[in-house]
Structures are given as structure tokens and as C-alpha cells.
Amino acid sequence: MIKAWILLPLAALAACCSACAARGGSEPLPQMIYIENTCLSSAGRPAVGQDQHPLAPDTETDGAISGQVSENERPKENGQANFPCTGSPYVLLADGAAALKQGDAYTLFLSDDTVEYEGIYKKKSEVSEKTLEWLEFYYSLSEDERLAISMVPSEFIPDVRSASVASASETSSSPVSYTDALTEDELAQTEALAMYYFTEEVPSFEGVDQIYPVSSDDILYQNAGLEGEYDPGNIIIYRVLTVRDRRDGSPFRFISIARNTKSGDWKVINSGY
């Protein structure tokens, strides 16, 4: 009887481990390519340049995939992939980033230690855990939803501004956006004020779950008698999902923060849906 009680748990444990191993072994790895002595995995989205537009089909390439291994195997030699794409050209984008041409479009591939924000690449060690979580959230949205977000993770801001300046020098000049008209410190101040509003001034909102500036072309900036009275550099509007709204399934709301002059104090001028 004692032996039976010992063997039964052991048998159950062995069966469980066998089942887990079987399930794990049957799951294919993500699409991978091996180039420049690095294994890269598909990000599942189009590769874009710093102008935030997809790479053109006629983009100059740097090589092509020359071999294939099993879908359950990580490629380990330059030119290999673990899915059918032999002959497909690729473009080197950065250390740990490449674009593989599939059909008429390029797909982004990243190494395990690399992240991307709209054509700008950084090592994970260069960004915070909060930014990594935000990037995961950002790329879980649809393209239209991402276009409505003008927030830039702080670690990427210098690169985004440099790219904007370079792009502006190649094309006709355009008006400064509401977010670009503010310094990093001013963006931090206004974001803190927005969070204070939903945490301390109106505690029933229970704090902020997510917050980001709205796009500069949002119609909210043209609201006559309120937001429309302020020029870029003196106003910023945030989309906010409060803790209460997320729990209740309510949508994002907005909060507008403005000042009368560059030397004036920031204040909340409007809030709602």
C-alpha cells in the first residue's frame, strides 16, 4: 500500500512532464533569419524608415537568404531561415535589426536584445522596463490607433527630433507640432499635472492607468473659445485612461493643459470625453 501511494504521484508527475514536453516540442518557433552572425525574429509588422513610412519595394538590399532549416530549429549560420524564404532579399537596418522582403513589402526582424519605435532602434538595456511595456502596448494597437498617439518614449525623443529635423531639411518647412513645441521638461511638467488632476484633485478617478499626448492634428486643438485660443508651445492635450475608467470599461478621456504665456503657470482648462 505504501509503495502504491508513492508510485501514483510519481507516475502522474511523469505523465504531466511528458505531456508538457510533447506540447512544447510541437509548437513551432517564430519566423527567424540569421544574418551578420545574429539570429533575428519576425516582429510581425512592416519595416519602416525614420520617416515612419514603410520601406519602398525598390530599397537597395544587402543580401539574400540562401538556406532553410526546420521550423522548430533556430538558424545558426549566416543566410539561413527557419521558414520558406530562400532567395528573399534583406536590408540591414541597425545592429540587431533587418528587413526581409516578403512579396512586395518588407517585414521587420529584430534580435532578442533589440527594440524598435517607428524606425528607431535601441538595445533593451538602453530603455526602461516601463518603456518596454509601453512599446508592447503600442504595437498591440491597430495602425489607425497608433497614428492617434503622439507620445514618444523619453529614450527615443532625441532620435525622433533629429529625424524630424533631417526630414524637414529635405522637404518644405511645416508648422511646429504641439508636442515638438514643448521641451522635455515642459512635457514632463504637464503630464505630472494631468496625473495629479486624476489622482488628487478628482480622487474618484483613482489615478491614471495610461496617458499620452493626442496627435497635433486632432480637432480638439481647434475647439473655439478654449483649446483653439492657444498657440503651440502654450498648450498640450492628453488622452487618459483612468484606473476607474479601465475597471468600468469606459473609453479614454482627454485633459487640456495650457498657459497664457511662456512664463505663465500651467493649468487644466478642459477635461472630458
Per-residue pLDDT tens over the stretch 69-93:
999 999 999 999 999 999 999 999 9
The stretch 61-73 carries a mean pLDDT of: 95
Give the pLDDT band of residue 157 (cuts 50, 70, 90): confident
Averaged over 116-141, what is the pLDDT?
A: 92
Closest CA relative to residue 125, chosen from 112, 110, 134: 112
Using CA atoms, how far apart are residues 42 and 99, in angstroms rounded to an integer?
Answer: 9
What is the percentage of the chain residues whose pLDDT exceeds 70?
83
In the prediction, which pLDDT does 21 show? 40
Per-residue confidence band for 258, with pLDDT thresholds at 50, 70 and 90: very high
Task: Kindly tell me if the per-residue pLDDT of 64 is higher than 90.
Answer: yes
Give all strands of the β-sheet with 267-272 in edge-to-edge order.
208-213, 235-242, 253-258, 267-272
Q: H/E element holding 92?
A: strand 89-94
Which 3 state secondary structure label does DSSP give 270? strand
**Residue (of 240, 268, 243) closest to 252 by Cα position:** 240
Number of other CB atoms surrounding residue 26 within 10 Å = 8
CA distance 194 to 250: 18
Burial class (CB in 10 A: 0-12, 13-18, 19+), 68: middle
**pTM, entire model:** 0.57
CB-count exposure of residue 51 (10 Å: 0-12, 13-18, 19+): middle
How many residues are recorded in the chain?
273
**Separation of alpha carbons 260 and 229, rounded Å:** 9
**pLDDT value, residue 119:** 92
